[in-house]
Amino acid sequence: MTSTKFTLDRRNFLRMSAAAAAGMAIVPSCTFGIDNIPAPMKRKFGKTGFDVTTLGLGGQASLQWTGEGIDPVKIILKAFDLGINYFDTSNLYQESQLHYGEAFRQLNLVPDKPLYNKKLRKSIFVTTKSHIRWGNKGFSERDGVRNRTQGDHGEGVIGDLKRSLSQLFGDGKGKYPDDAYVDMVLCHSLNTMEEVDVLYKGMETPLNPAGDFGALVALKDFRDGTNFTGLNPDEEKLVRHIGFSGHRSAPVMMEMIQRDRFDILDGMLVAINPNDRLNLNMQYNVIPVADEKGLGIIAMKVFADGAMYTKKAEWSNTPEHVVMQVGSAELPSKPLVEYALTIPGIHTAIIGIGHIDEDPLKCQLVQNYYAAQVKPDALSEEDRRQIEAKTKQVKGGKTNYFQLENEGLSAPQNVRIELGRLRWDTAIAGDEPIEKYVIYQGDEEIGEVVHRPQITKTPFAFDDITQGVAYAVAAVDRIGRKNVSDPVMEQVN
């Protein structure tokens, strides 16, 4: 096995300690051993039962867009040596999965090899992603929903799953060994309600194996070892958990969670950084819903895909877009990592690595590792606002090009009178969390209901109403702003 074991000699330890005292580096304020980097902090990863390290290795940056002189396999091996146990990749990330496959062979993580280390395999969590929305067919576009994958296997989401297994643990050409599995597959980058509709086809609707169905019911077969779809005649168990990801629309992601009455979703990958509150934010909308539902929650875009530093605020697609520096004098990377990891509900943050270095002050992986050694409650509200004030200055606050614009606090949604009760669905928070709902009879305030994350399609309700009278509901945020719904009077049948 090739090793890149990193230890701190006395010279480098003193350099990092001095830099920390000057506010330049990200070493935490506690005392570390001189010879070895401390064991990584871990958190319970939702309902998966796994203890995940607070830093995960992202599958993009130099693992996807590999620049001259960069060895992506060494980045993966160094992450292992640091004790990182969450590894991210995707079917859309060019050769990222193949780089992991090479590292996994060196680490004896391939099941059919003589030196297979089953205990080590169980100690890590490997997540891949698919942008295919259909379970059984690789439509390029159908029902207004576009499928994307790399290569042309002409299949649905299971084609992507098997491709991942082949590249991560097999020959890279379609074959994978018995006992190979990925820990989680994410339905990647949800943007529209139409995509959610397709994903749930065959679960919310009757399943017709000869017809069309969505990705979730197909992945469920390969999670449970069943064959309801007809795609799994050998009843293989190729994936342990299923989840989804999103960069753009918190309401779409909330819909995805609320419609899961099948206990299928275990994880969510979400874009989050200090400029989140400038947009239609994740931290007051979908993250609390996912947390209440018990999902393992992974932060991404901690540096806004590099837009906090040298990259333009646009999607990356070349090695030149990969950021090679460790923060900047004006904006150290440490507080951005801490910001993401102290949002309630976040368990780990995946960060792509441009390069590693023998000098720990120049090594992105080492610096991000130290930044991630943070407790969930380490930052105060004042700390968070100070970090936001700094990042707001970067590119005029327009770093999160992948995220919907902030439209402010919405009124409660779908307000109606139904079965003798006043009912409504959650409002969408603006730049402050929602605190409560106020009930109005005409112009008179007659009651309140405390806001809570709406984790199912079961609405909020208020019972003390009189038939034939108009009612409205106002959402009220933490600083007292409110948005009132249109009045309703007639009962819905």
Q: What is the DSSP string of 348-410?
A: EEEE--S---SSTTT-HHHHHHHHT---TT-S-HHHHHHHHHHHTTGGGG---TTSPBP--PP
Does the pTM exceed 0.75?
yes
Q: In this predicted structure, what is the pLDDT of residue 23?
A: 39
Q: Which fold has domain 10-397?
A: TIM Barrel (3.20.20)
Q: Which amino acid is at 349?
A: A
181 C-beta neighbours (distance < 10 Å), count: 19
Strands 239-246, 265-271: parallel, antiparallel or unpaired by DSSP?
parallel
CB 424 within 8 A of CB 336: no
473 neighbors 485 (Cβ within 8 angstroms): yes
Beta strand 145-146 pairing with 141-142? antiparallel
- Give the pLDDT of residue 14: 36
The answer to whether the beta carbons of residues 414 and 487 sit under 8 Å apart is no
**3-state SS assignment for residue 280:** coil
Alpha-carbon gap, residue 418 to 440, rounded angstroms: 17
The residue extents of the domains of the chain are: 10-397, 413-492
What does the pLDDT read at residue 118? Answer: 97
Q: Contact, 346 vs 286, CB < 8 A?
A: no
Rounded Cα gap, residues 176 and 111, in angstroms: 9
pLDDT of 147 reads 65
Q: In this structure, which CATH number among 3.90.1300.10, 3.40.50.720, 2.60.40.10, 3.40.50.880 belongs to the domain 413-492?
A: 2.60.40.10
pLDDT in tens, 327-382: 999 999 999 999 999 999 999 999 999 999 999 999 999 999 999 999 999 999 99
- Domain 10-397 identical in fold to domain 413-492: no
Packing angle between helix 96-106 and helix 72-82, nearest 10 degrees?
60
Mean pLDDT within 239-255:
98
Question: Which three-class secondary structure state does DSSP give residue 94?
Answer: coil
Distance CA 443, CA 316 (A): 52
**What is residue 316's three-state secondary structure?**
coil
Q: What is the mean pLDDT of residues 307-324?
A: 95
Give yes or no for residue 244 having a pLDDT over 60.
Answer: yes
What pLDDT was estimated at residue 137? 73
Q: What is the per-residue pLDDT for 139?
A: 58
Percentage with pLDDT > 90 across the chain: 85
For 129, the enclosing helix (H) or strand (E) is strand 125-130
Tell me the mean pLDDT in the region 115-136: 95
Tell me, what's the pLDDT at 5? 42
The pLDDT mean for the chain works out to: 91
Tokens of 1: 């096995």
